[in-house]
Amino acid sequence: MEQTGEKIGLKISSSKTKVLEMNTTSRGVKVNSKDIESVSQFTYLGSLVTDDNQTDAEMKTRFGKAAGAVNKLSKIWNNRSFSVKVKMRLYNSIIVPIVLYAAETWAVTKTMEKRMDSFDSRNLRRILKIRWQDKVHTSSVREKTGQCPLSIILQKRLGMLIPG
């Protein structure tokens, strides 16, 4: 491997290089006669890649990053001078892309769609200052915000759902 790279002027740093092997029984890669650390997951371009190709860990990471952004915007969500329309534009331009980043690569299940939609509903309730004790139905929340579920937004992005 290292000889091939050297032919075109590339040098592989064995201390900085990690290897993730998928669907293989062989373990161990060497560069410059040194073992390369084998990992089961790593972050590539902001997206979590795992050796078992499961998307649950990636979704949890996305939810965590989006929840952090939602918390940072709490002053805006609590500010009465901003209309719901403005808050929803912010939500759709900041929070939704964080959650759905690289979602094209996910193998989405019904369970994942439910998690996605409940995460979305929780955030919408926070924006509208609706507590869970208020017993407001999700359809009412979506009607007030004009927001369709995240699972539907994802399906539209993937071309699985015809807009209409």
pLDDT, tens only, 69-121: 999 999 999 999 999 999 999 999 999 999 999 888 787 889 999 999 999 99
Residue 66: predicted pLDDT: 96
Helix, strand, coil share (%) of the chain residues, nearest 5: 50, 10, 40
Residue 1: predicted pLDDT: 53
Asked if the model's pLDDT at residue 18 lies above 60, the reply is yes
Asked if the model's pLDDT at residue 34 lies above 90, the reply is no
Average pLDDT over the chain, rounded to an integer = 85
Q: How far, CA to CA in Å, does 43 sit from each of 20, 50, 157?
A: 11, 9, 23
Residue 26: predicted pLDDT: 64
Asked if the model's pLDDT at residue 21 lies above 90, the reply is no
pLDDT average, residue stretch 126-146: 92
| pTM of the model as a whole | 0.72
